[in-house]
Amino acid sequence: MLPKFNQTTCFVNEILTFYFPKTCRNPMTPFLGLLIILIIAFVGTRFFGRVVPRENPFLSGLVVSGIPYILIGVLLGPHFFNFLSNDIIDSLESLISLALGWIGLLFGLQLRWHNIRRFPRNYMLFSSLQSLISFLIILSLMGGVFLFLHTGHFQDRAVAVIILAALGSISAPASIAKIIMEYKAKGRLSHFLQFVSSLDSFWGIVIAGVAMAIFHPPATHWFSSSWHWLLLSLAISVGLGFLFRFLIQLHFEPEELLLLVLGLVIFTSGIGFYLQLSPIFLTMVVGITLAQFPRESEKVMRVISVAEKPIYLFLLIFAGALWNYRFWEEILLVLAFITIRYLAKYAGGFISARNINCAFHIPQNVGKSLLSFGGVSLAIAFNFQLFYGGAVGDLLMSATILGVFLFDEYTAFATLKILRREGEIQ
């Protein structure tokens, strides 16, 4: 198959070279690669989601999970058509950092303490407990698997296992929201699942950000300790959050505010890439800082939410293009991770449901509704791949992408079954 794909690529390149002989000696430039991604993201946002019938839960679930866009990225990437070659991906690194930072900022803006404390405290306790239990189970069991099946430097293995456990502890709200909207679920458990899955990314982002700071190699005598890098991360993020809050108080037109937000995200993510600190963690802290000021955060949220879906599709396509899958080398580790994550999320939900009183019945198998992956987990794996690369980075990408394939549809059906059993779906 590969020679045929290469012939197709050459044929397309020859056509582009014929029509653009002066500017297209190497037709697949970063501009054309970006143009392809933007067209796909636009079509996916405006057209594809409307065409797929909601009555077919399998097809609509595929669209919500983003699996088609990952596969499109694989086809466009170096392994098939090579429209998005490694050189093009490297040249578009600033846009990748924008996508990662956008996800962190969007999540952070939702964490306004005034809004969160309106919910019962046990909701927050449940969300944190099940997430941390899942993290510890994945960390301990995958640490043992890495110890026996994987070779390499100990520090690289340690940070990889920590970040793998961090992204494995995260739940995405998309699958739950899809079931609740399509079946018009009503009840306390439905709202509870939305709350828990919406906050579930917090500890994963924090742990991944702290791990990248703690395992950061010392660069100068001013930052000889790993804790210095963590303090620097927090200082930069909080400082930029207050600076941005001051700037937003000035009068800006919507277009000017959009440029200001883009500049903030690119600048903050660029600092993260330059200093080898997690851009998702940095922009999340910036978002949390802004979220405490309702007037300013609402202005930013109106701007940033418009581009949420295109940015997410952009990241999915890039992740597929960058996915350097090594099935036979990674199969045991990936299967171990998927199995351990299932057990960890189930155990986290089981222990939390038995020990935390939320004033209504929470089924002990609630962890099955918290299995879906999403943009945050993929962004963390993507971030690790860009920073560390190598076989370990490929493993994290494979585990996350295959987890999206397996868990998202399963989570939707498990949630449907649980809500029906609890009488919240007729």
Domain ranges of the chain: 2-90, 100-421
Q: What is the CA radius of gyration of the chain?
A: 22
User: What is the structure's pLDDT at 188?
Assistant: 92
User: What is the structure's pLDDT at 224?
Assistant: 62
What are the tens digits of pLDDT across the range 8-36? 445 444 444 444 444 444 445 555 655 66
What are the tens digits of pLDDT across the range 43-53? 655 555 554 44
What's the rounded Cα separation, in Å, for the pair 127 and 171? 10
Q: Is the pLDDT of residue 61 over 50?
A: no
What are residue 24's phi and psi, to 5 degrees? -130, 50
pLDDT band at 370 (very low <50, low <70, confident <90, very high): very high
What are the tens digits of pLDDT across the range 292-329? 998 888 888 888 877 777 777 788 888 888 888 777 67
Inter-residue contact 344 to 169 (CB < 8 Å):
yes
| Mean per-residue pLDDT over the chain, rounded | 80
What are the tens digits of pLDDT across the range 246-284? 888 887 787 788 888 888 888 998 888 888 889 999 999
CATH 1.20.1530 given to domain 100-421: yes
Supply the DSSP symbol for 23.
T
What's the rounded Cα separation, in Å, for the pair 234 and 279? 12
Inter-residue contact 312 to 66 (CB < 8 Å):
yes
Sign of CA dihedral 355, 360, 366, 370: negative
Inter-residue contact 36 to 76 (CB < 8 Å):
yes
Residue 48 tokens, joined: 């594809």
What's the rounded Cα separation, in Å, for the pair 321 and 409? 23
What's the rounded Cα separation, in Å, for the pair 291 and 114? 9
